[in-house]
Structure 1
């Protein structure tokens, strides 16, 4: 009988060689995949930063273009002599200038932009006062209700703009008396904008007469304020425009609008003698007077976004326009391992431009 030859498998050495080869291939594939994923995150992150920057500029442009809506008439600004504003037990403005758009300079940090306009659900046409208003009084009598409802804000002033305006809050629904519509603005828990004794609250209180006006601001407050809080949450946020101090706004007490925004800078476009110049909100332009407000025809805005992906090696710094200042350049230079994108635009204040 013939014996079959023995069948031989892989030797131990061959198994070890195959295993080593497989490990090398796996390592190479892993490194390739890791590199690919890193490039994909960088590419995707760049797209996110691009999108967020564009969205931030879009939101700012849409709102700033509307600055002053409802605050101007054929005779010009209704509140050229200033405005009285009270809220939550404190005086916010005491016959002080009333700007449609205002920049709060942040010094070495981000700026803030405050936009004031009517946010009425309907039109913002002024309502004529049909009955002289005693000073003080908790009732303003106008010809129609103008779509006002309880809780809405409205401003009382002169059509020619020669009186100090006063912000009021409707404490109950408009009351039609047959000889006009009464707008009640009593103080109380539900009316934080109404002081209990208006004549003792402000230094300059007006007696509004027949022919003067009330114009609707709506239920959305006095406007909108945009800023980048200093607490490091990297968001463009919206907050109460009445708040003055930059440090008071945090991501916790504001509404987050756009992520990855780390800086916001702005300048006034001022027309004096037919020439447009750009000035920061510092020096005499930090606290605007009535003449300066009417010279402001545009706002130049710069936004910086940062992708949160940390790069192992430093990336090329995003160049920022010189007008945005050293604060922006320092912010980018201090974070060389993060990718930044810089956006800027010029936004005209069309309601100011169209005003007489």
Structure 2
């Protein structure tokens, strides 16, 4: 007979049955909270640095893009009409859309609301004009004009006076530079034998869409955007001594300035007062400009402020002498201040920013308030040549 043995374990002692005490739980919670706070602190600092870095990068990109846009516009300023500057620089621009005046528009949006008064009330042909705000605002306004035809800017002579009835037509030596289908815009200027007085007005017109191509008769029908039959009485005032310059399909008559919320904005003069401003770049706080003038035509630039004889109202007074001064402008120097969108907790910028236009008599450095010093800034300074003006002899 086999005997079975049972091994009974002794009962657990109280030492092995004990769990965590309250003190141990509290220590564990404190350690966990400290670790969590450390992690969140690191993440907060990292996120703040990331936002500042991103904001600074955005500021730099916005400034570079703004300068790029201005560079493209200013370099091409005067295309289509500069070579005939004795006929065009300073002539009043007449343009109508369905009989309603387009240039000058009835009202201009901010930041150009005081521009018309500052230039004497009339917009005139010129590659680039700098207008300082008479109300003491920080930024200047720029008026930049250019055509887009890409031709040699040779004026097309008229053979007789334009006709308005039964349809608007120009009578020219040839119409070879105008493409079939219409839509191209032109600038009509009157030749004047007066070398000391004011220039006759210029007229912006549009080729009729029914235009079928260069005919042997040299007749160019007008219509479309800038002409309504019977409404534009200015056309009949031009003589057989007038000339026509092709401005292409998309001439640019632009205004540039710094608007609200630190934005660089543009306004198209050919679109009329109904159109608002176009946003070009964010983060632009301030913009200034000066002229690079070469009166002697020897390749040496003299930096000149847009004041006195080079004030906007003086350059756009319509005189022949003012046209020569406009022709002596060979470059524009742009100074721009950009700012980050993110406000820092601490002061991150000095009270005085680096100067723009350094090395000239017009060096300018902006002073910041205590609140403004919590943002990051960059000062941009660029010289932009006027390609079409460099070949002119004033």
Both structures adopt the same fold (TM-score exceeding 0.5): yes
- 1:266 to 2:285 alignment: no
- Give the whole-Å Cα distance in 1 for the aligned partners of 2:171 and 2:51: 62
- Give the whole-Å Cα distance in 2 for the aligned partners of 1:171 and 1:333: 59
> What is the aligned partner in structure 2 of residue 180 from structure 1?
217
> What is the aligned partner in structure 2 of residue 214 from structure 1?
244
CA displacement 1:40-64 (0-9 Å, x = unmatched): 1111211121121112112211221
Q: Is the 8 A contact 1:175 1:181 kept in 2?
A: no
- Select which of 381, 384, 390 maps to 1:344: 381
Shift of 1:104: 2.2
Shift of 1:257: 1.9
Aligned CA RMSD, in angstroms, stands at: 3.6
- Select which of 80, 88, 96 maps to 1:79: 88
1:312-323 alignment runs, 5 A limit = 312-317=345-350, 319-321=353-355, 323=357
- 1:292 to 2:325 alignment: yes
Shift of 1:149: 4.2
TM value normalised by structure 2: 0.74
- Give the whole-Å Cα distance in 2 for the aligned partners of 1:196 and 1:281: 41
Q: Is the 8 A contact 1:127 1:146 kept in 2?
A: no
Structure 1 residue ranges without an equivalent (≥5): none
> What is the aligned partner in structure 2 of residue 11 from structure 1?
21
- Select which of 267, 287, 307 maps to 1:239: 267
1:164-179 alignment runs, 5 A limit = 164=200, 165-175=202-212, 178-179=215-216
Q: Is the 8 A contact 1:176 1:182 kept in 2?
A: no
Larger Rg over CA atoms: 2
1:1-356 alignment runs, 5 A limit = 2-5=10-13, 6-73=16-83, 77-80=86-89, 82-88=91-97, 89-90=100-101, 92=103, 97-106=124-133, 107-120=136-149, 123=151, 125-126=153-154, 128-129=156-157, 131-134=159-162, 138-142=168-172, 143=174, 144-147=176-179, 149-157=181-189, 164=200, 165-175=202-212, 178-186=215-223, 190-192=224-226, 196=230, 198=232, 201=234, 205-209=237-241, 213-229=243-259, 231-232=260-261, 234-241=262-269, 253-273=276-296, 276-284=301-309, 285-287=311-313, 288=315, 289-317=322-350, 319-321=353-355, 323=357, 329-330=366-367, 335-356=372-393
Cα gap change, 1:145 to 1:354, in 2 (>3 Å): closer
* Aligned positions, number: 340
- Give the whole-Å Cα distance in 2 for the aligned partners of 1:261 and 1:332: 17
Q: Is the 8 A contact 1:77 1:161 kept in 2?
A: no
> 1:114 aligns to what SS in structure 2?
strand
Cα gap change, 1:228 to 1:29, in 2 (>3 Å): same
- Give the whole-Å Cα distance in 1 for the aligned partners of 2:368 and 2:218: 55
Shift of 1:192: 3.9
- Give the whole-Å Cα distance in 2 for the aligned partners of 1:333 and 1:322: 21
Q: Is the 8 A contact 2:353 2:368 kept in 1?
A: no
Cα gap change, 1:178 to 1:86, in 2 (>3 Å): closer
Structure 2 residue ranges without an equivalent (≥5): 1-7, 105-120, 316-321
CA displacement 1:187-230 (0-9 Å, x = unmatched): xxx5346694655x59x943134xx542221232443332221x
